[in-house]
Each structure stands twice: as structure tokens, then as C-alpha cells.
Amino acid sequence: MTGKYDAIVIGAGHNGLVTACYLAKARWRVLVLERRHVVGGACVTEETFPGFKVSTAAYVNSLFRKEIVRDLRLKEYGFEVLERSPSSFTPFPDRRYLLLGPDGEMTRKEIAKFSKRDAENYSRYEAMLERVADVIEPTLTESPPDLLRPGVRGLWRMFQLQRRLRRLGSGAGEAVEILTGPARPILDRWFESEELKATLATDAIIGAMASPSMPGTAYVLFHHVMGETNGKRGVWGYVKGGMGGLTQALASAARALGVEIRCEAPVSRILVEKGRAAGVVLAGGEEVRAPVLASNADANVTFLRLLQPGELPPEFLDAVKRIDYSSASLKINVALSELPDFLACPGTQPGPQHRGTIHVCPDLDYIERAFDDAKYGKPSERPLLECTIPSVVDPSVVPAGKHVMSMFIQYAPYKLRDATWDDLREKFADRCFDLLDEYAPNFKRSVIARQVLTPLDLERTFGLTGGNIFQGAMTLNQLFSFRPVPGFADYRTPVRGLYLCGSAAHPGGGVMGAPGLNAARVILRHR
Ligand SMILES: Cc1cc2nc3c(=O)[nH]c(=O)nc-3n(C[C@H](O)[C@H](O)[C@H](O)COP(=O)(O)OP(=O)(O)OC[C@H]3O[C@@H](n4cnc5c(N)ncnc54)[C@H](O)[C@@H]3O)c2cc1C
């Protein structure tokens, strides 16, 4: 290859950085262009309040692929995941509470407070999810086959998948339900305690504009159990120093491999010559050329903003315009002077109630009602809160004696019917604070500062179309061979030399690194 660069990666999200590293490992000369002042995309740490290191968007890790950690020696660059035990705490209005995982014996005792039967069933439920995960997990790091034109490689992949599915035997039906159906009937069948079901159901609707009774939510729940922390399946942890600990390690690994990273370098146009990618034009007008481009931006940005309509086949453009970006997630980052003192489990000294994810979500109907509001274009009257306080496990992220809290909130629909997010932002944040105060009455007075990121802000800050945290909804019609659109699930695009390498592509969102890894493999195979 001639010219200064063999490849340009558009966007320094964690996936873009993974792609850059693997190309550089193959001795490619790689340039990464990032529009923000910092690398990481939605996986980033920023000093939002003086002295507080905030995981601005993503806040917990489990999905990031261990083979990437190993291949890129990320631990040597400072990447470390801190385990949380217990991993979740759900306080209830009647002042009872439920703690879960990863300690099996503690979990069994906790669930038995609500239902002895559920306590017995829980480990069988986990084993069932694990059996399905064993079958599905290998597909995460493979390009999905094109179902209409599979070719020899695609037919081989389909054959392998079919063989794995057969291993499930009579469990295959349940696997199909998990991959395609709603979460609620599955939880209703396994368990009787609303307290347990509501806590588990939160994973089914994270990032989704859906309630647990809607098809596709069982897959979202399942997607969240396919990771691990330090070898423990389904366990989530905090990244030391905040989520940016991962992307800073990736950036260091990339630089050590010779990758050039430029921040504050927004790409405004992809250059196409004779149907082939030829380079990019930056917002300031600078042209940078390379024969291979990998876009970490979502499909909407890549195809509808960076390319001209005439450069893509009309049917492909139509398919991209049909991608569902609906979302209802809002994030509030909070600096705290003390820990929440829960009525259900009092104390402002770090305790089991503070270490894991704190769920404000007492029963399944509560989630349904919260979603009902969003369906009609209103933020939930009583939203679901998922709060984490990483400073309890990792004091390095705060000044001595202080704490930082991530509040991930649903449902806050991107499309509002009678208001704008610029008007509602602070009012809705107040509503969320009032709600947490009902459970921990010292909360509001402990707030030093807050940052509210509505779906509109997520779009503006991170370039996530519609504020969708996964670069496109994780519904069956947009997964596997259909992600981002049917016929193009193998990271290629209709423009030769242009590839997608972010979570717009298979296997989708979450801090996983799999799209970046798979894209790099495809790119290297094509040269
Ligand atoms: C609020 C929130 C909370 C989340 N919580 C979690 C969590 O706890 N755990 C988890 O696993 N996942 C979580 N997620 C999902 C996860 O963070 C994302 O799926 C993942 O980070 C996406 O990574 P990516 O590399 O594919 O893309 P992104 O992180 O979206 O990166 C794309 C990059 O491309 C850049 N870019 C876009 N356009 C251009 C351009 N024209 N020129 C140059 N650069 C460009 C963007 O600035 C960005 O840096 C969360 C997401 C959000 C938003």
C-alpha cells in the first residue's frame, strides 16, 4: 500500500480503538480520528466536577472480551476490573431489601426472605441461562452469515450454529424463547416473588424502549449475562479509575503499536472515488487519504451524514433509514458528600447496600407503568433508577470522604410529545432525586453537583443517534444477520474499502469490543 496511512478509523470509541490495535498488530499504519477532546466514546472517564472522576456514560463492565485483554496486554496498560460483592441491592417501600450475587449462599438466603421456592429455583435459572450462553457466546466473535446469500463460509457458520443448538436438546425451545420472546413470561414461570422478578427484569429493559412484556426483551436480559469479571460468568465490575480506564489502556496499547490518534478531529465527509473509499475530509477542510476506512460512528451517521446519497444503492439507504434508534435512557452523574442512608438498610458508612447496583424498581407492574408514560411521549412519572457508587469500591475516583454516583434512568423517551428536553432536563432530574429521597432521605441534601444527560444530550455529546445507547435498538430485526441491515452484517458496506467497526454492527451495544475485533479480522482478510 502507498500513502501515509493504510487505514483510517473514524471515531475512538472502544471498538474503534480495538480495530485500530488489531490492524496495527498486522503492521498496518493506522490513523484514528475522534471528534471529541477525549478518546473512549461512551466508555470514558471525565473530571466532570473538580476532583471527581466520572464515568460519563457507561458505568459497569462485564462484556469486554477477555481475548482482547490478553492479545493487547491491556492489564500492562493499567486496565483492571474491580469486583462488586454483593452485586445488587433493591430496597422496597415496606423497608425490606434484596441483595444478590455473586456469593451463591448469600443470594439463596436473600431470595428465601421473599420466597423459598424462588431461592431453590434461582441456581437452576442461572444454569439454564449459562447453557444458552455457551451456545450463543461463540457467535459474538464471528461475522454472522448472510442468510440470503450465505456462500460456503456462511453455510459453514449456519451448520456450526445448528450443531451447537442441537446440543441443547429439549432446552432448545427455551433458548428460542430467550432469543426472541419477552422477558416477563420467562421470569413469571421461574419465580413467584415480585421483588426478585423486578430486580432481574431491569437487565431486560436497559437501553430499550420496551417493557419486559414486549418481545425481544428476553434477549436484552440475556445479552447482559454473557460477560464475566475475572473469570466469573455474568458478574459485573467497576473499571479502576472509571470506564475510561479501559479506553485509556486501549489508546496506550494502540500508540505502542504505532497508531496515531487525533482528538478534536471530526470527520465531515467520507471520500469515495470510483465506488471505493479513498479517505476523509475533516470539518476544517483537511483531506486525509487511506484505502481502507473503518467507521466507529453509528450507521445513521456513517451512511446518511458522511456519505452523499448517490454514493449508496437506494435500497441500502432505505434500509438504513428504517433502523430503529428509539430510546428512553437518561443518565445523571452526581457528586456526593455522603453515602445514601437507606431506610431499608440504614448507614452512611460503606456497606453491602452501597457496593453494587442499587435498583429503585419494586415490582414488574411498576416497570410497565413507567413504560406506559414513555409510550405516549412523556418521561415516566415514577421512573426506574439504577444507581451505582463506584467510589465505594474504588476510592481513587473521588476526593477523600466524598462519593460519586451514576444514576441510569428509564424511561425518558427521546421523542417527547408536548415538551423539549432542554425545558424538561432539570425538572425530570428533580423528580428522580425526589424518588431516591423516598428510599434514602439524606440523598438530596448530600448532593454537591450533578450532570444530567438526556437522550438528546447523549446524541449531542457522543454522536449516538436518537440517544440510543447501543447505536441502534437490540431487537431481533436488528441483531445477528440483520445488524445493521440485512445483507451487510459482515462489517462490509456497499462502498468498497469502507467498513463498520462499532456497535452499530454485530453483536451490538455494550462495552464488549467484539464488533471492533470482528471488523478488524474481516478487513485483514479482505486485503
Ligand atoms: C448512558 C450510557 C450508559 C451505558 N452503560 C453501559 C454499561 O454500564 N456497560 C456497558 O457495557 N455498556 C453500557 N453502555 C453502552 C456502551 O457504552 C456502548 O454500547 C459502547 O460504549 C459503544 O462503543 P462503540 O465503540 O461501539 O461506539 P461509541 O462509544 O459510540 O464511539 C463512537 C465514537 O465515534 C466518534 N465519532 C462519531 N462520529 C464521528 C465523526 N464524524 N468523526 C470523528 N469521530 C466520530 C464519537 O465521538 C465516539 O467517540 C452505555 C451507554 C450509554 C450511552
pLDDT in tens, 161-189: 888 888 888 888 889 999 999 999 999 99
DSSP per-residue string spanning 486-511: TT-TTSB-SSBTEEE-STTSTT-SSS
Q: Which of 10, 38, 43, 68 to mutate to test the pocket of ligand 1 (most atoms within 8 A of CB)?
A: 43
CA distance 499 to 295: 6
Q: What pLDDT, in 10s, does the model give residues 450-475?
A: 999 999 999 999 999 999 999 999 99
C-alpha cell at position 53 = 472522576
Name which of 433, 443, 377, 390 is nearest 409 in CA terms: 433
38 CA → ligand 1 middle, Å: 12
CA distance 134 to 247: 27
- Please determine, for residue 397, whether its predicted confidence score (pLDDT) is greater than 80: yes
For 410, list phi and psi in degrees, rounded to 5.
Answer: -135, 145
CA distance 360 to 6: 49
60: left (phi over 0), alpha (psi -120 to 50) or beta: beta
User: Lowest-confidence range among 60-74, 215-229, 494-508?
Assistant: 215-229
Residue 431 has a pLDDT of 98
CA distance 472 to 483: 9
Contacts of 203 (CB under 8 A, 6+ apart): 220, 221, 224, 225
Is the minimum distance from the CB of 58 to ligand 1 under 6 angstroms?
Answer: yes
Three-class secondary structure of residue 317 per DSSP = helix
130, with CB counted inside 10 A (0-12, 13-18, 19+), is: middle
Tally of CB atoms within 10 A around 151: 11
Which ranges of 206-331 would DSSP assign to H, the alpha helix? 217-223, 244-256, 299, 314-321
Name which of 240, 244, 252, 245 is nearest 32 in CA terms: 252
Residue 1 has a pLDDT of 52
CA distance 333 to 335: 7
For the segment 194-210, the average pLDDT, to the nearest whole number, is: 96
31 CA → ligand 1 middle, Å: 19
Name beta bridge partners: 32: 9, 261
Residue 170 has a pLDDT of 85
Reported confidence tier of residue 2, pLDDT bands at 50, 70, 90: low
Residue nearest (by alpha carbon) to ligand 1 atom 1: 57
What mean pLDDT value characterizes the chain?
96
Q: Do residues 18 and 30 touch, judged by C-beta distance below 8 A?
A: no
Residue 224 has a pLDDT of 83
CA distance 140 to 142: 6
Q: Which of 35, 298, 300 to mutate to test the pocket of ligand 1 (most atoms within 8 A of CB)?
A: 35
For the segment 226-239, the average pLDDT, to the nearest whole number, is: 89
Please identify which residue in the block is written with the cell numbers 452526581: 334
C-alpha cell at position 491 = 462489517
pLDDT > 90 fraction of the chain, expressed in percent and rounded: 90
- Please determine, for residue 320, whether its predicted confidence score (pLDDT) is greater than 90: yes
Is the minimum distance from the CB of 65 to ligand 1 under 6 angstroms?
Answer: no
Residue nearest (by alpha carbon) to ligand 1 atom 41: 267
384 CA → ligand 1 middle, Å: 22
CA distance 284 to 279: 15
Which atom of ligand 1 sits closest to the CA of residue 62?
Answer: 11
Residue nearest (by alpha carbon) to ligand 1 atom 13: 58
Is the minimum distance from the CB of 13 to ligand 1 under 6 angstroms?
Answer: yes
Please identify which residue in the block is written with the cell numbers 415490582: 363
DSSP per-residue string spanning 79-95: --EEE-SS-EEEE-TTS
Which atom of ligand 1 sits closest to the CA of residue 329?
Answer: 1
Is the minimum distance from the CB of 59 to ligand 1 under 6 angstroms?
Answer: yes
Residue 331 has a pLDDT of 98
What are the start-end ranges of the E strands in 418-488?
447-453
Residue nearest (by alpha carbon) to ligand 1 atom 32: 13
469 CA → ligand 1 middle, Å: 7
252 CA → ligand 1 middle, Å: 19
C-alpha cell at position 250 = 486501549
For the segment 219-228, the average pLDDT, to the nearest whole number, is: 87
Is the minimum distance from the CB of 469 to ligand 1 under 6 angstroms?
Answer: yes
Residue nearest (by alpha carbon) to ligand 1 atom 49: 41
Longest dimension (CA), the chain: 69
- Please determine, for residue 495, whether its predicted confidence score (pLDDT) is greater than 80: yes
Residue 231 has a pLDDT of 84
Is the minimum distance from the CB of 53 to ligand 1 under 6 angstroms?
Answer: no
Is the minimum distance from the CB of 463 to ligand 1 under 6 angstroms?
Answer: yes
User: Lowest-confidence range among 28-32, 127-131, 231-235, 484-488?
Assistant: 231-235
Q: What is the CA radius of gyration of the chain?
A: 22
Is the minimum distance from the CB of 462 to ligand 1 under 6 angstroms?
Answer: yes
Buried-state track 415-444, b at ≥16 Cβ within 10 A, e below 16: ebeeeebeebbeebbebbbebbeebbebbe
148, with CB counted inside 10 A (0-12, 13-18, 19+), is: exposed
- Please determine, for residue 378, whether its predicted confidence score (pLDDT) is greater than 60: yes
C-alpha cell at position 252 = 496506550
Reported confidence tier of residue 24, pLDDT bands at 50, 70, 90: very high
CA distance 45 to 406: 12
Q: What pLDDT, in 10s, does the model give residues 282-292?
A: 999 999 999 99
Angle subtended at Cα 501 by Cα 499 and Cα 505, rounded to the nearest 5 degrees: 95
* 3-state per-residue secondary structure call for 62-73: CCCCHHHHHHCC
Is the minimum distance from the CB of 509 to ligand 1 under 6 angstroms?
Answer: yes
pLDDT > 70 fraction of the chain, expressed in percent and rounded: 100
For 7, list phi and psi in degrees, rounded to 5.
Answer: -150, 145
Residue nearest (by alpha carbon) to ligand 1 atom 50: 58
Residue 3 has a pLDDT of 80
For the segment 212-219, the average pLDDT, to the nearest whole number, is: 95
Please confirm whether the linkage preceding 86 is cis (ω < 30° from 0).
Answer: yes
CA distance 34 to 460: 14
CA distance 345 to 360: 14
Which atom of ligand 1 sits closest to the CA of residue 502?
Answer: 26
Residue 363, CA distances (Å) to 3, 106, 198, 360, 370 in order: 60, 22, 5, 9, 11
CA distance 73 to 79: 9
Residue 58 has a pLDDT of 98
Reported confidence tier of residue 388, pLDDT bands at 50, 70, 90: very high
pTM above 0.85, yes or no: yes
- Please determine, for residue 8, whether its predicted confidence score (pLDDT) is greater than 80: yes
CA distance 430 to 47: 23
Is the minimum distance from the CB of 39 to ligand 1 under 6 angstroms?
Answer: no
Q: Which of 248, 269, 288, 296 to mutate to test the pocket of ligand 1 (most atoms within 8 A of CB)?
A: 296
For the segment 488-516, the average pLDDT, to the nearest whole number, is: 98
